[in-house]
Amino acid sequence: MDPISFFLSFFLSFFLSFLIHLFIYLFTNECLMCLEKLTIFIVALSFAYFSKTLSGTYMKSAITQIERRFDLSSSVVGLIDGSFEMGNLLFLAVVSHFGARLHRPRLIGMGCFLMAIGSALTGLPHFFMRYEYDTVIQGLLNKTVSISPYMISTILTLDCVKDTGSSMWIYVFLGNALRGIGETPITPLGISYIDDFAKAENSAFYISCLQTITLLGPMFGFLLGSMCANLYVDIGFVSFDSLTITPQDARWVGAWWLGFFVSSAILVLAGVPFWFLPRSLPRQGEEGNENFNVDQGNKEQSVLPNTHSVKLANIAKGFLPSLKRLLCTPAYFLLLCGIVLKFSSFIGLLTFKAKYMEQQFGQSASRANFLISVLILPVVAVGIFLGGLLMKRYKLSVVAGAQLSFITSFTAFLLLLFHFSTKCDNLPVAGLTVSYNGTPEISHDEHSLMSQCNQDCSCSTSEWDPVCSDSGITYMSPCLAGCTTFTGKGKNTVFHNCSCVLTPSPVEGSRSVSLGQCPRGPRCTRSFTSYMAVTVLSSFINSLGTTPGYMITIRCITPELKSLALGIQTLVMRTLGGIPAPVYFGALIDSTCLKWGIRSCGGRGACRMYDSNMYRCVCLLVITNYCLYKNTKMGGGGYSIKSLITHINIFSVIKDLI
């Protein structure tokens, strides 16, 4: 059994056992006798956090698969990813404000069900269409033949039939947006519920435990993405032996749809417990009072009659005054300014994290997702837990928490600079990165793809069916390599008598190429090891300041504004950072593309190959410029302590991965 299957099997057995015991506790009266209701809520909320982060990070892990499946550019895929934030934008402020006065647990349960529907809708397009890729041996006999280069080039040409699935990505967009709508009540209402009814000294510890457990979601989300990326998209309908591509190929599409249905089922289960939890609880230590009036803050308790009903019209009248009070709080306003800059940079990098590892270091999507889940996220979980433990053990004040957050954030930023030195050179591809003579290629245009060795072959320069020679040079297609014969079957096909292949001897028979791109050298492997080591260290250091920074958000405003403050913070981050960041990050990534795929009826498809050096510089320069601008802007003017606060935000749990 491979490691990914082992982890998933262990997780599913543990997860099922956890659900059975949780439901037994919730549906029996003995549960309410042996456990505090707040403890039950924290367990249920942890499960909901786990479920929503699993579905969210699975979406991140499937970005490359969706891009290739629907032949989209990175900017369009970034727009699809940003649709989650758009869903939040529509309802977050209203849910945060009204939800604080309504039945918060049931609103959270409704949100889980909406997310489940959205996840199922996202994976639905798979059943409307099948994936087809062009390959040079399509339609050829699986035996040794003699064939002209012209036939090899034209065998790729398919009848132009309008692709009925060209707009199916709209379902992915809408499903992700619906998932964002369902997520709106979980964080602001869940955190405020805990802070309202827990002891002040225990609140930080509970939240740190919640965030630590939450990281199991991203961990298994990326593990699930790793497993699905290793399965062919049309598994069960296509024989694996008939495929001519591997998971390392730029045309490979994994079973991206499968993970969305798995996460949908988990989200349904996560929403059930909240329908059996009470609207309010007595504060810890004051269990004699069975009711608590949130509107009167943490210091005042009152008994509410069971027939009490909240009129939405009366609640709405207080929305604008509450919003004005919130935004006029200097510490909170400065916190928002810094969060937008930091969130913009890290959400863009997180969205294309696995893709960065694929394009920069030649890793498959499956391996990239696996390494994120088993190396990076566990140390982040440990860092968050230790940060909350430090907050509780030493009873850190708001200022001390801000200082700790700044120190850890700035240290992680310095470590980030080491990524500039961890690189892999461009893969040598004839006509793209090197000439047909093996010298570095300066210009990238259609004329450079042709050479004297293949100019009489009538090759298409738009096709991408790479082959690798013994010299380590990749050719875009067997035709462009000048090949005339082939042997073998499927992925084991070998092309012979290739006139463009460089050999140390003039022996014609040694001019052969095999299907697929050439692998990267050992130097690239060492660079990737260094990259992962720096990433793990910086992620751990930065995560130490997550819980102290999070507590600043809910301590710098009055108790009755906590839900609204968390909701507005999330709203601003997603409006100014979460929505545009993946789009312009994707556009910048598109600008580094060297070879675009072509759709059957023309038009640009997904990128097949990027300029590795430009890709690295674009990604890292954007984030460093954001951080430097933030430090310069917020560091002066007499706001030293407040400027430290701006370096922290709730989403650094999983966003600080690069």
**Tens digits of residue pLDDT in 385-424:** 888 888 878 877 777 877 887 888 888 888 888 888 888 8
Residues 623 and 584 both lie in one domain:
yes
Q: Please name the residues in contact with 323: beta carbons below 8 A apart, sequence gap of 6 or more.
A: 564, 568
Is 347 found in the same domain as 335?
A: yes
Asked if the model's pLDDT at residue 258 lies above 90, the reply is: yes
Q: Which residues pair with 494 in a beta bridge?
A: 487, 514
Q: Is the pLDDT reported for residue 149 higher than 80?
A: no
Both 471 and 555 in one domain: the answer is no
Please check whether residue 332 lies inside any domain of the structure: yes
> Would you say residue 304 lies in a domain?
no
- Read off the pLDDT of each residue in 193-221 and give the average, rounded to a whole number: 76
User: If phi over 0 gives left and psi between -120 and 50 gives alpha, with beta otherwise, what is residue 526?
Assistant: alpha
Q: Do 225 and 288 have their domain in common?
A: yes
Q: Which of 56, 8, 532 is nearest to 230 (CA)?
A: 8
Q: Are 267 and 178 contained in the same domain?
A: yes
Tell me if 232 is assigned to some domain. Answer: yes
Backbone torsions φ then ψ of 140, nearest 5 degrees: -90, 155
Same structural domain for residues 255 and 117? yes
At 294 the pLDDT is 44
Pair 455, 412 in one domain: no
Angle between helices 256-271 and 37-61 (to 10 degrees): 170
Compute, in degrees rounded to 10, the torsion defined by CA atoms 548, 549, 555, 560. Answer: -120
249 and 143, same domain (yes or no): yes
Ramachandran angles phi, psi of 22, nearest 5°: -65, -45
Q: For the chain, what percentages of helix, strand and coil (3-state, to nearest 5) are there? A: 60, 5, 35
Q: Measuring CA to CA, how many Å separate 448 from each of 324, 426, 427, 498, 504?
A: 61, 17, 16, 18, 23
Q: What average pLDDT score do residues 179-205 get? A: 80
DSSP state for residue 444 in the 8-state scheme = -
Please name which of 572, 127, 539 lies closest in space to residue 343, comparing C-alpha atoms.
572
Across all residues in the chain, what is the average pLDDT?
A: 76
Whether the per-residue pLDDT at 554 is higher than 80: the answer is no
pLDDT (mean) for 425-432: 86
Q: What is the pLDDT of residue 637?
A: 35
250 and 336 together in one domain: yes
Query: How many structural domains does the chain have?
Result: 2
CATH number for the domain spanning 135: value is 1.20.1250.20
Report the pLDDT value the prediction gives residue 287, as an integer from 0 to 100.
55
pLDDT-based confidence at 43, cuts 50/70/90? confident
The answer to whether position 308 is within a domain reads no
User: How many whole angstroms separate alpha carbon 147 and alpha carbon 562?
Assistant: 73
Domain containing 540: what range?
8-157+166-297+315-424+522-655
Q: Are residues 399 and 480 in the same domain?
A: no
More confident residue, 557 or 174: 174
107 touches 189 (CB < 8 A): yes
At 604 the three-state DSSP class reads: strand
Measured at the alpha carbon of residue 186, what is the angle toward residues 180 and 188, in degrees to the nearest 5? Answer: 105
How far is CA 139 from each of CA 136, 268, 441, 514, rounded to the nearest angstrom?
8, 45, 34, 18
Cα–Cα dist 320/313, whole Å: 13
Q: What are phi and psi of 462, to 5 degrees?
A: -95, -15
Joined together, the tokens standing for residue 551 give: 């507590």
Query: In terms of Cα–Cα distance, which of 55, 343, 394, 427 is closest to 217?
Result: 55
pLDDT for 339: 74
Q: Which of 519, 553, 586 is the last residue of a domain?
A: 519
Q: In what order do the strands lie in the sheet with 485-487?
A: 145-146, 485-487, 494-496, 513-515, 467-469, 474-475
**Residues 132 and 245 both lie in one domain:** yes
In a domain, 305, yes or no: no
Residue 42 falls inside a structural domain: yes
Do both 515 and 534 map to the same domain?
no
User: Among 472, 501, 519, where does a domain finish?
Assistant: 519
Using the 3D structure, point to which of 519, 543, 570 is the last residue of a domain.
519
SS in 3 state form for 513-524?
EEECCCCCCHHH
pTM across the whole model? 0.77
Is residue 2 one of the residues assigned to a domain? no
Give the residue from 129, 133, 128, 130 showing the smallest Cα distance to 158: 133
d(CA 160, CA 599): 9
Distance (Å) of CA 217 to CA 54, 269, 341: 4, 14, 26
